[in-house]
Chains A and B, each alone.
Chain A
Amino acid sequence: MMRLRGREYGEHESLVMAIVNRTPDSFYDKGATWDDGPAFERVRRVVAEGADIVDIGGIKAAPGEEIGVDEEKRRVVDFVAAVRAEFPDLVISVDTWRASVGRAVCEAGADLLNDAWGGYDPGLAEVAAEFGAALVCTHTAGVTPRTRPHRVRYEDVVADAVSATVALAERAVALGVDPASVFIDPAHDFAKNTWHSLELTRRLDEMTATGWPVLVSLSNKDFVGETLDLPVGERLTGTLAATAVCAWHGARVYRVHEVAETRQILDMVASIRGVRPPARTVRGLA
């Protein structure tokens, strides 16, 4: 069972989390939603396309100009409040590793803290518990936020991801976070080379077998680009293929740039798995 913003989701429901960057320099959109106007347009569009969650982030993952707490808050807090006002039922997630930012966005109406840097600030889970917010626990092998993988190695990358994320999830529950609102994320590309991310995709069933709902963030990432030798902007097909495999293995939440395409993939895989009836079946039946 998963619970977000008081709503419960059944075991075969999967959710699309749409990325909304409040950054001037993110790798995919390169600042397209840096200004309030385009950012709001993005939220309205992804909601219309069927997004269940918006994930608002104020700092790109790659290295770059250092963004302090005040600037990060300036980028996201008021925006969260404005989205909350316009969309009372929408699940709002914020992508941050900082507890102080987590506190400010929860006060502004966020429901979910996407701790994309794997518990770097242990206070973030405490904030989730205090505000009754949900939490994403990611596997980043303890690296410093905004660093790139450099010759990283694992005895068994999947076992490492499982043990690290489950430990973070159990800690969050011990701190008082609702166990139905804790997600684990293998964090493709984070502290991983392409082989590692491919193996995590191939063996994602080992993460879903833990019973914790699994979130995957695959969208247009470098492991797709390296696998197909394609630049950012030409990785949608590969992203959707990886999405299908993760869906087959039972992932529950998909953090994406392209909402409509992802929704189609998830519906198709759900029907292949036999947990969603096709939309309309006439062929051979008339």
Chain B
Amino acid sequence: MIVATAVCPSPPLLLRELTGGRDVAADLRKACEEAVGALIAAAPDVIVVLGADERSAERVEGRIPLSAFGGPGERVPEAEALPTSLAVARRLLDDLGVRVPVEMGTIAVDAGPAETARRGRAIADRPERVGLLVMADAGARRGLRAPGHLDERTFPVDEAIRAALAAGDTAALLDLDPALCADLLIGGRSALQALAHARSGTPVAGARLLYADDPFGVLYLVALWPGARR
């Protein structure tokens, strides 16, 4: 049973050590902490983290590889390093002093409908009280200075994702076109569709969007979906 769901983006700059003298992502981090804090406050037995990555993996453990981004600290061998999405999740959970068990896994950015459905249902079917944290990014081609430069096609797609997260609209997330999302560097498409499968069938009431902005050309969305009432 999913008792609450939080959605956060995973830019490395959420790792405070990487943003230099000025904290350029303070507002975003605060919104993420609010979302993850609410997840913890829902008293889950376990927090399940699903993050986008190049490959799918059911269970992932490892360390936050600050060094991979040129940050401080000892070098973390790639084999022991968390994928970026899970590294950001780990940091958010650690900063909030999470006490319950955390299980982390990845879903491939190019995962198809069968896989997103299977992963989503597997989380939904768990008997314990699950707090689901989905690490998912929207488009990265939102301006001339964006990582992926400008692609005008991104605006309606990003808006659809924003509106879906704000409204708890799982059907809209399932409508996202994988090929178009890949073109637009929407890394979170598969994770969001797994979320939609996990939460489909029971209406999502009281969804809240805590952050929606693109200060660096990537659309960051932070959302909190309370659990379905039984």
Q: List residues of A whose CB falls within 8 A of some B CB.
A: 62-64, 147-151, 153-157, 192-196, 198-199, 226-227, 229
Instruction: Tell me whether B149 and A195 are in contact (CB under 8 A).
Output: no
CA distance A151 to B83 in the complex (A): 11
Given the complex of chains A and B, what is the CA–CA distance between A227 and B19 in angstroms?
10
| Beta-carbon contact of B65 and A153 below 8 Å | yes
- Closest A residue by C-beta to B147: A150
Contact between B149 and A155, CB atoms less than 8 A apart: no
- Give the distance to chain B from A151, nearest Cβ to Cβ, in Å: 6
A151 touches B70 (CB 8 A): no
B152 at the binding interface (Cβ < 8 Å): no
6 residue pairs from A and B, CB less than 8 Å apart: A148-B147, A148-B149, A153-B65, A155-B68, A155-B77, A155-B81
A150 contacts B68, CB within 8 Å? no
* Interface SS, A side: loop
Known contacts A148-B147, A196-B69, A198-B70, then 15 further A-B pairs from the complex at CB < 8 Å, ordered by chain A residue: A63-B144, A63-B148, A63-B149, A147-B148, A150-B140, A150-B147, A151-B11, A155-B68, A155-B75, A155-B76, A193-B70, A194-B20, A194-B70, A195-B18, A195-B70
Q: How many residues of B contact A (CB 8 A)?
A: 25
B interface, by DSSP: helix, strand, loop or mixed?
Answer: loop
Q: Are B149 and A64 in contact (CB under 8 A)?
A: yes
Contacts of A199 in B (CB 8 A): 70
Using A195-B18, A226-B20 as known contacts, say yes or no to A154 and B149 having CB atoms under 8 A apart.
no
Residue-wise interface mask of B (50-91) relative to A, using a CB-CB cutoff of 8 A (1 in contact, 0 not):
000000000000000101111100011110010010000000
List of 5 A-B pairs having minimum Cβ-Cβ separation, nearest first: A195-B70, A63-B149, A153-B68, A150-B147, A196-B70
B111 at the A/B interface (Cβ < 8 Å)? no
| Chain A residues, CB < 8 A from B77 | 155
Closest to B77 in A: A155
Assembled-state Cα–Cα distance A194/B65 (Å): 16
